[in-house]
Structures are given as structure tokens and as C-alpha cells.
């Protein structure tokens, strides 16, 4: 920063008092007559208010103790210049620190900004301090190792400034102070600071090839503290590829991070960090990148399906990572004699975790995808046999159990034909319920197929031709059909006499709460007989109104998601996202309610098993009705709908 002080009127008052003195060089005592006042202030040419107070004690303890003010501040040599109105004060660091100034101006991104008049570019005093400047080796220096994050953070702690200056990485200082390097510094151990990696008077952006932290140069920086690791890296395939111009290859910061540098050997309890596996998967799980170098993703795929990979995925690091088996800094191909995975070295590598192992154990696993190792064909044959065995045996079990279930349904249906019937549903109501069942099931399958595309059953649907266009068409067609079905049934309940009677009977009342309470007491063994209900039980009323509410919510949110471009511009922007959330969670709620509540009430309930067939036939037997319903409700259902004059509620 170039401090150009705009004078205060107060300073003019001292000029007459000293004008009688001869024209000679100013002494520190002369400067401190004004600058020793604690309330002395001015405004810089950048509009920033600054205090002009100089603490004589601090100045005397600084690295520049013994030097005169004019040795550092130029532009005001005599008292005629007070209060420096016509000759702004400038810093004269370059007169002593010539080499540093040359590097700063010619090879530093900050110096470039200073030369091009960038008002945000820091100058010497911004980094090293002003009157309190101390050697960098001093613990009290603002550029000491443990104070650098604070000093650099004056600028780089501002996300707005970073973005405006083309630095798009975020939370630089926060992430650094969470790193292993900063932890080492605070513990007075060997740890890298800002200047250790970026330099001091030759700082350049990482995009510059001559920057110390460029993709090809960062290893040289790390070499200062980690020579063995860098030496292995440079001799390995990653380092050689990088040196030869392939910027796809990882460098130190690719795996370990930049400002938030971490050790991939760190553990959480007994578990290794999942990041140790992720850093390898980023590249080796990328199909397009692997094809570029004549490789494939088979190693990642096989690892993820093996014990090590499964435990990594399931517990975020309970067993061996990629780097445990392959040297992290010199990961050579398994056919290389120095590779950990070479057959002559594999036993020792496995032995790090498993102790002494046999050759058979060491050879038992391979990442290789091709049929090029002993036993692979036998493994495939056995796998195929078991897949066929599972399909045939389990499929046969399901088919046999299904046959028994359908037999039980037929027996119940035939038995009902020989008994007196009580009508529960008309043919129209049966058809409406059937359409609702089909469309709801289809919507559930096609909706969750979009949300969970990696599920095995979704992958199977995709494999038989259910592309996204087909899925969307089926989903939306089912939504339209279900909506029409519900609307038609709604008009039926309003316009038809029987429908109005049903609507009135669906209205909940105090009797339903009593019925629910008596059911609880019965199933807890506190009542001897099961309570009987009206035409519709409390469970059926609950389902009916849940269906009505859920349909409205799903239709409204579904229309917003189907036609988002038609939303009025005056609506808030969060409407679409809120509709998406509501649509998903309402679908989850509806699917679980149908499966757990309706499914149990109509299929798995002991009194209904193997199934309540009224949704197909429209009736139940008189014996079933007598067990479930009150006498008045049975009489009401036994009459024809057209004999009712008014839709009056019975209970």
C-alpha cells in the first residue's frame, strides 16, 4: 500500500512554531511533536481513515530502531513541507531492500498490481507492518510463522476480494487453519506456512507455469519437507505422466488438498478416512479418463464389490484403502517387480494387516477384468450356476407360495357364492377402485424410478426399454387417468343418491373415536368381543380422507412440476423446489400408507386373509357382515340404493 496522507488543519498550527529554525534535515523528535499525539488522524488517497500516531516505544523496539523518520518516509525533508500538503509522504523501502523490491515489482502478482495502480495491491508495510516492523524470525513479527494466516487473511479472508481478483477457491484461511500444516505450526513442530508454499516476494497464481504452486511445480515445494515421498512420486506413473505434460495426472494437492492439507493416514477411531479411497476413485472411476490412457474402471468396480470396498462404503473406512495395497506415491503396475502388488511382494503387502499369509491367500484377489488369471473361468462358471440355482429355486418357491395364495382366494370366492351377500360396492365403484389401484401403483413405480435411478429394479426396467421419455410418458399418463378417475368419483358422490349417502357416511364423528378406543382395548385383551362398526369403520374413513387430501396435494404439485414455465412471474422463485419436495414426500407417505395400512387391512389382517375380495366382487357374505358391522349398518347395506330418499347419516 502507498500511504499518501492528506493533511489535517491541526498540523498547520505547528508550522509557525518551527519556521524560525534553519533549513536542515528533520529529526525524529521534530516528527513526534505531531505524530506523538494519540488523536492525530488523516485520510489516505484511497479514502481510508488512518491514525497518524506513532508510538515512540514501539518504534524504538522495531527493526528500524535508530533510523530517522525520513530514512523510510520520503517527500518531506524540511519544515516548510509541514503538514506535507504539497509533498505526500512515500515509503523508501527500495533504497535499502533493493533486491527484494526488484523481485516484488518484476516477479510478484502483488507487485504487478502495485505497478498497475490496483488500489487493493499490498505494499511492504501491509505485509511486514509499519512502525512495529520486526524481523520475520521474531515471534512478534506480523509475518512470523504463527501470524501469517492473520496477516494474509486481511485480504484473502475476504471472499468478495478473492473473487474480484480472480481467486475462485474459497475459505482459504479457514481451510488452512484446519490443516495438518497449521496444526503442526501451532504445536511448534515443522509445518508449512503461507510463504513456505507460495514464496514471499515472488508470489504467482497457480495458473502460471512458473508459480511455485502450479500443477507441475507444487511437488518441488512439497519436496522441502517431504523429499522421500516426492522422490517416489516423480519416479512413479503419476509423476512421470505429469512431468511429460499430462495434467490429468494427480499431483500432491490433488490427493491431499491445498490449503486444507490433510494426511490420508488419519483415522477416526479404528477407521481410516473414506477420503483415502475417494481420491483414487475420482480418476480411476472416471470411464472417459481411463479410456484416454488405455485403462478401464474395472479395478474400482471390483474393489467396491470386494470385502475391502464394501466395508469402506458401509462404514466409511473400516479396512484397507487403495493406498494400503498400492504405494500411494509410487503406484506401479502389478507386473512391475518393485510394485507392492507384484506376486513376489504381495504377501508382504497383505501381511501389513493380516499378518503372515500364504501364497494362496495373497493370490486370491485381483482387480483384473479379463480372463487372464488362473481360476477366473471356474469362478464365472460357479457364479453362473448359483445365479441359475437361485432363480430356479427361489422363483419356484415364490410360484408355489403364490399358487397356494391364489387357491385360498378362489376357495374364499367360491365359499362366498354359496352364502347370502351384502353389497359393499356397485360395479361402478369397483371399476373406479380398480383404476385407482392400477394408476397409483404405476405412479409409485415410475416416480421412484426417477428418484432412485441406481436401484437394481430401476436398472432392470431401463434394460428392457424404459427410457426416461417412456418413464415420463407412463407417469404423466397415469397421473391424468388417476385424476380423471378421482374427479369422476367426486361428481358421483355429489350427484348420485348413493354417492351422497356414502359421502355423508364418510364424515367422521365421535363414534369413530369410541370405536378406535374399543379396538385398542380389545387387541390389548381388555375387551372380550371385537367392536362392530357402522357402514364405514374408522380405518376406512381415515383412508378415504387421506386419499382425498393426498390427491389434491399430488395434483397441484405435479402440475407445477409438469409445467414449470407456465408459473406466473409474480410467484416467488422457491415455488418449484417446494413443489418438488412436497411431491416426493407425499408420494413416500402415500406409498407407505397403502402398503402398511391399507395392505394390512385388506390382505394381511387375519380376519381378511388371503384377501378381502369385495374390491373385485363388490360384496361380502352376511356372516362376515354380521361379524364386522352393527345391525343397523347391515340393514342399510342390504337395501337398494334407490330406496333411500335422503342421504341422512345413520350414526
What is the structure's pLDDT at 266? 63
What is the structure's pLDDT at 360? 82
d(CA 542, CA 9): 83
Q: Are 196 and 221 in contact (CB under 8 A)?
A: yes
Per-residue pLDDT tens over the stretch 149-177: 999 999 999 999 999 888 888 999 999 99
For 243-294, the DSSP string reads: HTT-TTS--HHHHH-STT---TT-EETTEE-THHHHHHHHHHT-HHHHHHTT
d(CA 651, CA 632): 9
What is the structure's pLDDT at 340? 86
What is the end-to-end Cα distance of the chain in Å, rounded?
87
In a domain, 207, yes or no: no
In a domain, 589, yes or no: yes
Instruction: For the chain, give the percent of residues with pLDDT over 90.
Output: 48
Asked which of 261, 291, 318 is the last residue of a domain, the reply is 261
How does the average pLDDT of the chain come out, rounded? Answer: 85
What residues make up the domain containing 313?
264-374
315 & 428 share domain: no
Asked which of 91, 122, 142 is the last residue of a domain, the reply is 91
What is the structure's pLDDT at 29? 84
What is the structure's pLDDT at 316? 60
In a domain, 479, yes or no: yes
Give the up-direction half-sphere exposure of residue 147: CA atoms within 13 A in the CB hemisphere.
15
pLDDT-derived band at 371 (thresholds 50, 70, 90) equals very low
457 & 557 share domain: yes
Asked which of 231, 261, 291 is the last residue of a domain, the reply is 261
630 & 521 share domain: yes
Q: Are 10 and 17 in contact (CB under 8 A)?
A: no
239 & 367 share domain: no
Spell out the residues 6+ positions from residue 30 whose beta carbon is closer than 8 angstroms to its own. 18, 79
491 & 431 share domain: yes
Per-residue pLDDT tens over the stretch 529-572: 888 898 899 999 999 999 999 999 999 999 999 999 898 889 99
d(CA 82, CA 69): 14
pLDDT higher for 471 or 639?
471
CA 457 to chain centre: 25
In a domain, 105, yes or no: no
In a domain, 551, yes or no: yes
CA 36 to chain centre: 55
In a domain, 235, yes or no: yes
Spell out the residues 6+ positions from residue 181 whose beta carbon is closer than 8 angstroms to its own. 191, 192, 193, 261
For 181-246, the DSSP string reads: HHHHHHTTSS---HHHHH-SSS---TTSTTSTTSTTTHHHHHTTT-HHHHHHHHHSHHHHHHHTT-
Q: Domain with 590 in it: what CATH number? A: 1.20.950.20
Instruction: For the chain, give the percent of residues with pLDDT over 70.
Output: 88
pLDDT higher for 521 or 328?
521
610 & 508 share domain: yes
359 & 435 share domain: no
583 & 441 share domain: yes
pLDDT-derived band at 362 (thresholds 50, 70, 90) equals confident
For 21-66, the DSSP string reads: S-S-PPPHHHHHHHHT-TT-EEE-TTS-EEE----HHHHHHSTTTT
Reduce the DSSP state of residue 73 to 3 states and report it.
Answer: strand
pLDDT-derived band at 211 (thresholds 50, 70, 90) equals very high
257 & 333 share domain: no
d(CA 53, CA 30): 14
- C-alpha torsion sign, points 29, 31, 33, 37: negative
585 & 612 share domain: yes
DSSP 620: E
Q: How many CB atoms lie within 10 A of CB 56?
A: 13
Total structural domains within the chain? 4
DSSP 629: B
Please give the average per-residue pLDDT across 341-364, as a whole number.
Answer: 84
482 & 551 share domain: yes
In a domain, 77, yes or no: yes
- C-alpha torsion sign, points 534, 537, 542, 545: negative
In a domain, 137, yes or no: no
Per-residue pLDDT tens over the stretch 185-198: 999 998 999 999 99
576 & 438 share domain: yes
Amino acid at each position: 500500500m502507498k500511504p499518501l496522507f492528506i493533511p489535517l488543519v491541526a498540523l498547520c498550527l505547528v508550522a509557525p512554531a518551527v519556521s524560525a529554525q534553519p533549513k536542515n534535515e528533520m529529526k525524529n523528535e521534530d516528527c513526534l511533536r505531531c505524530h506523538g499525539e494519540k488523536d492525530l488522524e488523516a485520510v489516505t488517497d484511497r479514502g481510508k481513515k488512518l491514525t497518524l500516531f506513532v508510538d515512540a516505544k514501539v518504534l524504538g523496539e522495531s527493526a528500524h530502531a535508530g533510523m530517522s523518520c525520513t530514512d523510510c518516509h520520503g517527500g518531506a525533508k524540511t519544515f516548510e513541507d509541514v503538514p506535507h500538503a504539497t509533498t505526500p509522504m512515500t515509503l523508501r523501502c527500495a533504497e535499502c531492500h533493493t533486491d527484494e523490491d526488484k523481485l516484488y515489482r518484476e516477479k510478484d502478482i502483488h507487485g504487478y498490481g502495485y505497478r498497475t495502480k490496483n488500489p487493493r495491491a499490498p505494499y511492504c508495510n501491509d505485509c511486514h507492518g509499519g512502525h512495529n516492523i520486526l524481523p520475520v524470525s521474531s515471534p512478534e513479527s506480523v509475518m512470523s510463522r504463527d501470524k501469517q494466516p492473520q496477516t494474509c487473511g486481511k485480504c484473502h479472508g475476504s471472499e468478495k476480494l478473492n473473487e474480484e481478483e480472480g481467486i475462485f477457491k474459497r475459505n482459504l484461511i479457514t481451510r488452512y487453519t484446519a490443516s495438518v500444516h497449521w496444526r503442526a505450526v501451532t504445536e511448534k513442530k515443522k509445518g508449512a506456512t503461507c510463504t513456505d508454499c507460495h514464496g514471499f516476494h515472488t508470489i504467482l497464481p497457480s495458473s502460471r507455469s512458473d508459480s511455485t504452486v502450479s500443477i507441475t511445480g507444487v511437488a518441488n515445494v512439497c519436496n522441502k519437507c517431504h523429499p522421500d515421498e516426492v522422490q517416489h512420486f516423480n519416479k512413479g506413473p503419476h509423476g512421470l505422466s505429469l512431468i511429460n505434460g499430462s495434467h490429468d495426472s494427480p499431483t500432491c494437492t490433488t490427493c491431499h488438498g491445498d490449503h486444507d492439507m490433510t494426511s490420508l493416514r488419519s483415522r477416526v477411531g479404528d477407521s481410516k478416512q473414506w477420503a483415502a479411497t475417494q481420491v483414487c476413485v475420482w480418476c480411476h472411476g472416471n470411464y472417459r479418463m481411463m479410456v484416454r490412457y488405455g485403462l478401464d474402471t474395472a479395478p474400482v468396480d471390483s474393489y467396491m464389490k470386494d470385502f475391502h470396498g464394501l466395508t469402506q462404503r458401509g462404514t466409511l473406512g473400516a479396512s484397507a484403502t487403495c493406498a494400503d495395497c498400492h504405494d500411494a506415491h509410487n503406484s506401479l503396475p502389478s507386473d512391475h517387480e518393485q510394485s507392492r502388488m507384484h506376486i513376489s511382494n504381495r504377501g508382504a503387502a497383505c501381511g501389513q494387516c493380516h499378518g503372515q499369509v500364504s501364497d494362496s491367500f495373497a493370490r486370491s484377489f485381483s482387480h483384473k477384468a479379463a480372463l487372464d488369471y488362473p481360476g477366473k473361468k471356474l469362478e464365472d462358471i460357479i457364479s453362473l450356476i448359483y445365479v441359475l440355482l437361485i432363480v430356479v429355486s427361489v422363483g419356484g418357491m415364490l410360484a408355489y407360495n403364490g399358487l397356494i395364495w391364489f387357491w385360498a382366494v378362489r376357495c374364499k370366492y367360491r365359499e362366498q357364492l354359496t352364502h347370502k351377500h351384502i353389497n359393499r360396492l356397485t360395479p361402478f365403484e369397483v371399476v373406479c377402485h380398480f383404476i385407482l389401484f392400477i394408476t397409483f401403483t404405476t405412479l409409485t413405480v415410475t416416480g421412484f424410478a426417477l428418484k432412485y435411478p441406481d436401484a437394481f429394479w430401476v436398472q432392470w426396467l431401463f434394460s428392457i426399454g424404459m427410457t426416461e421419455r417412456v418413464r415420463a410418458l407412463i407417469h404423466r399418463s397415469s397421473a391424468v387417468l388417476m385424476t380423471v378417475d378421482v374427479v369422476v368419483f367426486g361428481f358421483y358422490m355429489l350427484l348420485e343418491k348413493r354417492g351422497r349417502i356414502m359421502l355423508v357416511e364418510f364424515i367422521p364423528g365421535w363414534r369413530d373415536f369410541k370405536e378406535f378406543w374399543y379396538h385398542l382395548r380389545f387387541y390389548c385383551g381388555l375387551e372380550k368381543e371385537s367392536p362392530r362398526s357402522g357402514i364405514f369403520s374408522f380405518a376406512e374413513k381415515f383412508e378415504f380422507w387421506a386419499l382425498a387430501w393426498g390427491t389434491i396435494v399430488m395434483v397441484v404439485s405435479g402440475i407445477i412440476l409438469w409445467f414449470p414455465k407456465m408459473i406466473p412471474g409474480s410467484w416467488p422463485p422457491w415455488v418449484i423446489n417446494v413443489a418438488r419436495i412436497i411431491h416426493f414426500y407425499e408420494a413416500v407417505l402415500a406409498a407407505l400408507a397403502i402398503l402398511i395400512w391399507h395392505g394390512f387391512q385388506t390382505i394381511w389382517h387375519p380376519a381378511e386373509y388371503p384377501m378381502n375380495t369385495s374390491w373385485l366382487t363388490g360384496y361380502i357374505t352376511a356372516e362376515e357382515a354380521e361379524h364386522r358391522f352393527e345391525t343397523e349398518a347391515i340393514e342399510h347395506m342390504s337395501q337398494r340404493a334407490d330406496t333411500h330418499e335422503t342421504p341422512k347419516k345413520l350414526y
